[in-house]
Structure 1
């Protein structure tokens, strides 16, 4: 099971803090029930002469020849468990191993002809079981189920990737570190001060003071004491019910781990708790990945910017209904 990436909870997020454990408890209960109903706690996989781990190993080895380390990674188990499963499959005649020509310290495992026949039998059994399950659902429900399971497994992968990182509120000591991240990322994408981008903001070196204002907040991602990114939320001047998503920057080490979406969702939750009905932002087309994320989060493009943020170079104003 993945270990959680800790996240600070502010006074405005107490409702979420109360609801989240209830949701976690419900999801844990459903996950346990699913594991039990699918027979994953049994010593054998249905009528097959295979344990659940052996069955999973059989499936992975059918796709390609694997080392013990590769199999362990594919099954998300420790190497000793993977080694034991392969050894048992070899004893049953379902698999065989050979010396790895690229690494004399390891061996490569593959299925035997008998193992392939056994896999066919396993697939027939499992396909029949799932056909019976899917017969209880409409085509729309099946599509919804597949989408939800993909989202669930993706969330698990991201939670694993985020282990060791801490999401917390910005402190005064963080000022030079988050400023460094913002300047480095801006330079990486050519968002220089002379072009009018936010890196030119005179407050960049003291963001802590900026986000001490009412209904404003800034979070950073900390990895072993090193600040690697952050995002802020603040009221949009002249628009009482509108906040602005600000200064979302991430060091390259963080990318691909799902932090941008997670941090944005946390900012939205805070904004709702502060009474905002909409979230505004300004971005630029050269930040293609960010624009795609904003669109997936539900932001819509506006014909013209709101207010005067001072970021004239950001030609893409967007708005989200919270």
Structure 2
């Protein structure tokens, strides 16, 4: 079983994904991708949204959902990757239009980074598409550095962010 996460940001509840969230999370991801003209690949690069237990939980990652009034409005997760030393890949960070422009994405990213750092990981990798201009801006403003090695067909950008070691006080 994964580490349980539960936090809030304004009217939003950020919590660990549960099996009952599967259909809504997959539909949300497909909706956001379609909004930007990107292809959802449920049997390939988006398989992890359907198979959270195997693709996140069983390999030491976490997958979170964002709720507003009991409905999912966002997703985000991370899982270990072989791209670096004690590295994770940030995945599936999507928000529906009604949840954007309020600082939720920035809060979600910083909360994920803190969780990742507390787990002792050294760096975060992510892939994104240039068409996701707000996401690209958020990552660049948050210290993510351009890298190389795109592995997902719809993506054209890779970023990496080294993390300082977690301080002893934050791991207690």
TM-score by length of 2: 0.82
CA distance in 1, matches of 2:159, 2:136: 9
More helix by share: 1
Higher mean displacement: 181-190 or 198-207: 198-207
The number of aligned residues is 159
Alignment-derived partner of residue 170 in structure 2: none
2:51 partner SS: helix
- Superposition pairs of residues 93-242 of structure 1, within 5 angstroms: 162-193=9-40, 200-237=45-82, 239-242=84-87
CA distance in 2, matches of 1:276, 1:312: 26
CA distance in 1, matches of 2:11, 2:132: 27
Contact kept? 1:186, 1:199, Cα under 8 Å: no
Alignment-derived partner of residue 305 in structure 1: 149
- Superposition pairs of residues 79-90 of structure 1, within 5 angstroms: none
CA distance in 1, matches of 2:43, 2:130: 15
Contact kept? 1:234, 1:244, Cα under 8 Å: yes
Tell me which of the two structures has the higher relative contact order, counting C-alpha pairs closer than 8 angstroms and 6 or more residues apart.
2
In structure 1, stretches of 5+ residues that fail to align are: 1-6, 10-158
CA distance in 1, matches of 2:85, 2:139: 22
Alignment-derived partner of residue 104 in structure 2: 259
C-alpha RMSD over aligned residues: 2.3
Contact kept? 1:197, 1:314, Cα under 8 Å: no
Contact kept? 1:280, 1:318, Cα under 8 Å: yes
Residue 277 to residue 269, structure 1, CA distance change in 2 (3 Å): same
Contact kept? 1:197, 1:311, Cα under 8 Å: no
Specify the structure having the higher radius of gyration (Cα): 1
1:239 partner SS: coil
CA distance in 2, matches of 1:181, 1:198: 16
CA distance in 2, matches of 1:198, 1:255: 28
CA distance in 1, matches of 2:99, 2:58: 28
Higher mean displacement: 228-237 or 206-215: 206-215
More strand by share: 2
* Deviation for aligned residue 1:321: 1.3
**Residues 251-307 of structure 1: CA distance to partner in whole angstroms, max 9, x if unpaired?**
1110011111111111111111222111111111111110000001000111x217x
